[in-house]
């Protein structure tokens, strides 16, 4: 849950994220309270998720270090050049659970490989 918040839900409404976590089979009330108790995340007025930028950077580095060179071994892909590579090449079986697509200004198109999503068996549909 921490990695999902760090990658996808920083600044998002608490109620929306709780619903998504619940639909993924997590136990959001218990899990989120544990993360708050450990000071990994916090909420603004119990309405929005937040975490320190350094914790977000640390979580990204943890995922990147799992496989610095092979994107298919990462659980999450967020850097726009890596996302482009994942979408434009057939990477075969992979470990990808989530993707953040935030293209820089002027970089508006990605050509999807016909099999881009075929091997993404672990992607979380609700995210």
Structural domain of 71: 67-127
Distances (CA, A) of 103 to 30, 84, 106, 119: 34, 9, 8, 23
Average pLDDT over residues 92-108: 83
Q: Is the pLDDT of residue 126 over 70?
A: no
On whether residue 100 sits in a domain, the answer given is yes
Cα 122 to Cα 119: distance, rounded to the nearest angstrom: 9
Residues 89 and 40 grouped into a single domain: no
Q: Is the pLDDT of residue 127 over 50?
A: no
User: Does residue 61 lie in a domain region?
Assistant: no
Global confidence as pTM: 0.80
What's the pLDDT tens digit per position in 55-82? 999 999 999 998 888 888 999 998 888 8
Q: Which residue has 């490989």 as its token pair?
A: 113
């Amino acid at each position: 849950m921490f990695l999902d918040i760090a990658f996808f839900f920083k600044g998002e409404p608490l109620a929306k994220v709780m619903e998504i976590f619940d639909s993924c089979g997590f136990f959001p009330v218990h899990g989120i309270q544990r993360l708050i108790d450990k000071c990994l995340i916090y909420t603004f007025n119990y309405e929005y998720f937040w975490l320190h930028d350094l914790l977000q950077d640390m979580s990204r580095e943890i995922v990147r270090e799992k496989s610095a060179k092979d994107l298919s071994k990462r659980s999450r892909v967020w850097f726009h050049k890596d996302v482009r590579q994942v979408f434009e090449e057939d990477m075969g079986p992979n470990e990808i659970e989530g993707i953040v697509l935030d293209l820089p200004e002027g970089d508006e198109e990605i050509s999807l490989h016909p099999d881009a999503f075929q091997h993404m068996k672990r992607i979380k549909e609700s995210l």
